[in-house]
Chains A and B, each alone.
Chain A
Amino acid sequence: MSASDRRLPVIPAETAPEPPRLDFEALSRRLEAERGAGHWRSLEELAGAPEFREALGDERFQGAEGFDRRDLLKFMGVSFALAGLTACTRQPAEKIVPYVRQPEEIVAGGKPLLFATAMTVSGLATGLLVESHQGRPTKVEGNPLHPASFGATDLFGQASLYALYDPERSRTLQYLDEIRPWTAFLGTAREAADEERATRGAGLRILTETISSPTLASQLAGLLHDFPAARWIQWEPAGRDNARAGARLAFGEYADVVADLAGADVILSIGSDFLSGGPGSLAAIRQFAARRRPERDRGPMNRLYVIETASTLTGANADHRLAVPASAMESIVRDLAGALGVTAAGGGGGAFARFVGALAADLKAHAGRSAVFVGAEQPSAVHALGHALNAALGNFGRTLRTIAPVEASPTDQLASLTELAGDMAAGRVSTLVILGGNPVYTAPADFEFGGRLTKVRRRIHLSLYEDETSALCQWHIPEAHFLEAWSDARAFDGTASIVQPLISPLYDGRSAHEVLAALAGAPESSGYDLVRTFWRGKMAGDFEAEWRRALHDGVIAGTVSPDRSIRVGSPPPVVLASPATSGTQPGDASTRGRPTAAAQGLELVFRTDPKLHDGRFASNAWLQELPDPITRLTWDNAALFSIETAKRLGIAKEDVVELGLASRTLRAAAWIEPGLPDGTVVLNLGHGRKRAGRLGSGTGANAYLLRRSDALWSASGLSVRKTGETYPLACTQLHQNMEGREIVRAANLEEYEKNPGFVHEKEKEPDRALSLYPEYPSDTYAWGMAIDLSACVGCNACVIACQSENNIPVVGKDQVRRGREMHWLRIDHYYGGEPANPRHYFQPVPCMHCENAPCELVCPVGATVHSAEGLNDMVYNRCVGTRYCSNNCPYKVRRFNFYHYSTQFRAPSMRMLANPDVTVRWRGVMEKCTYCVQRINGAKIDSEIENRKVRDGEITPACAQACPAEAIVFGDLADKESRVSKLRRNPRDYGLLSELGTRPRTTYLGSIRNPNPALPEPVRTDFPHTELDRETGQK
């Protein structure tokens, strides 16, 4: 059931849906010429419009000729049956591309269909294929044709399905908390437009998130044309203002840089978490991971250096990671620039001279085959230096290319939001239309956005949820989810996609297109019309054909941004000068986002949350319950302290601390995370929402309350006070120390090449003959899985993909604290080495499907049994719930329904979320990873129909399908040529705890790192540190 198979091929365009234009002159001429009793069915026929004739040619019902009674009855029967079908589902009325080989399969209700669409986060699109079961979207997959997906998905894409069916989504259009019809809003919109027109829109402001949608941008441009004095403000709390300013400094104009890591041997990240969450991160992971394998099949192993403050996934995957305070970042980069001859200044000793020296030498040795990334959080000067470094290394044109900005209108968002805040305070804004986003929550604290917002006379907010901003706006319009509305969007490299809905809005939601159209005085235009109108004429060739192709492929051909030949000028002197001497006048582009020198106290660093991003996903229970990739915390954020800092301040896990910054204070729970620079406190954005529904409200601390416009990403002068209280945190992994066990087997590349069999060195797998029980016969498929720990970056996408595919319930913070989370697939995270700068190891753990499974032996009722194909099957019906199997599972991959967790699938909308191919489990029943047995059987049925064996790669479990790193490979071990069999023969292949004699079918490929020989970093999987292990009150 590979993804692309279930999509239909592009078929030639059908009849043009446009109404044929009537030529009344020709009509009257014809009528005059007509003699006798001419019959005509419509004016069009009479006019002999070519469109009409064409339409007739396509239709089956051409009058009664050649149409006998039997055929008529047959057709009537079919029509009635199909008419009945349409009542079953909420199909959008617009034409989305249907399945080609449709009929009997749809009637049988068996085969789901896939539709291409795209999801945007911060304006940039990721292409998706969404599975639809009889008209309801049930699963999100990546679109292999889309450059930001390559068939993979990130966790936001996977979790977007939950948001679609979230029972807490806003359902009604409201005016001052009263339900109003859309027409009432249209009245207000007309009234507002009339009123604003008088002043040419001087009081009209439109606040959006970053927009890349060409249609929306053209609508906005049209609106601004009609209201020349109006303003369009974009605000993205985790925005790229610094990057934009840095690009301007380096290139003299806004430009985006797109990387192709396939050719990068050495990668340097300066605070850039390019492997998670960012635009193009899936592509980055795909290319990065492809060269993390020591087999050299796709080139020699790359090497990743990361200089960062907070611990990110990118840092966790680094070969060399340097943890530095945010305030020290720029000087290190200057040192590096000096060492590479980019700047004359810098290059001095510094605390990290050895690191910087080795890094510079390595980069120099790989000039043109390296890439330097700078994180959006870094000041603009660092971005400019990064560009200069890349230019000096000759990376532009090789691993990197510059393109025109993808977003529709790159601006200094902070500056325009500042202006808006000023205008609101001064009463210059009479109508504020907020399309998406939640500025009351996300605007810098010093803007007092909420208070100023109420000074605006007419406030309109479009959003998916009733949030903090909705509460302060008179009009709240429920937004259509992206799976419910037409739109378009561009990917990080400029590729445009049509956002195709799969279902008509569940709650009469509206898209931003429709709201803007209403303001523009064209309320009748639907999103479909607007998007089509925009693209008509912009697609080469026949529009209908191209439109269909664009819908089918999920990308619009030929929209990739071309390279922009931008010469990187030498950075302006202000960048080259050291921060101490350069001017620090506010608003100066070169000092954008530069942390003020630490006067005293600690430094506070903000970062986007790996799960909730900037807070927009706070209502998403899947993401809330997903463990943070490194701290393993769920449902809350925490103020993160390094071990040393916590020791110095006397802070333990779960202590409530009061963070004081200038005059503002915030109470947050503390957590200890090895690997942070001492003196730095990290706080993730996106938590502490007040109005994010029942599930999302009140989790964690709201970092925005401390975030000022002059210190968006880091602030110094933080004071930390212990309050003496504690706050319970729910962590899914209390021990991140391997205890000296051979769990993740790791080596450096050099050692590995000297000793390829290192993974088996300490292993003592018992003799197969030791088992009392006979072997299972193996004359059919033997399913197995191999997980490459070198490639896995720990991004968590597989966990959400599994949750979505297998109807895994969310259990809530209290149950997680009691150790009852239900994720079938978990990603274990371990530390190794020095607590000050540990190595990170990730290990996805699904069911091992042991050939000699301890769980099967002890189940008294035979509810978990071995299948002929080697699967360890769980028979839910038969399970009585002794939990003996879970006790006896050495991998603890079994999950138990301690309560009736699946009641959450009873809410009417949530019922639609469930995958119909997977049983929803009852209370008291054990469950676990099945290798997506529904997909296995689906593929087997297909293959049996075609009288052949299942082909390698035909079955992709949800985790493997989502994996951007291609770290998970599933297949038939009996087929010696299958990919998984080949991986079995890889010397790195080992079975977890295979010394127990369980003979797992899921095996791992040892983790190989590639450190610089000049900076020796011995592999350490031990973690001689006990502070972390101290028990919290958690079970």
Chain B
Amino acid sequence: MDKAQLDAAFSELYRTHLRDVYSYAYYRVGNHHDAEDLTEQTFLQAYRHFERATAESDGRPLRPWLIRIAHNLAANLYRDRARRPQSSLEETEPTRPARTIHTTEDLVEGRDELARILEGVTRLPDERREALIMRFALGMDNREIARALGKTDGATKVLIHRAIKQLEEMVAA
């Protein structure tokens, strides 16, 4: 692949996955300011290593690689600041209500539940939280999540199952 093809491929990756990386970053760090920084750093780092990643990907999608960069950068961010994610997620409204909600009361109740779910997500252990963000915010399948987390497909399936179960118990409590 020559330079022009690489550049075209990178810009395609950028356009296709900017929202994925930003969504991951937002739910991972819990606020827009850090999410923007994390997204920016992720793409700059991806740009520097894109040629090698493309060569080593053997034709597989690069989204897990991209999310893994964001994952590592986020881990470094918290290591540097020695703190947990901010809790501003629990102060935000869900970006869209569930489609089955119709009445005003149901809408309020539904929003309360979505807020409880978001709050529960922030209290999950890091790895379980990340797996749920990748599954539900980014729509990644088990194989993609496994590659992003550096786990086997089987371990990832168990991880997601346990994360959902723990979250459900938190919300129901």
Q: Does B bind A?
A: no
Q: Which residues of A contact B (CB under 8 A)?
A: none
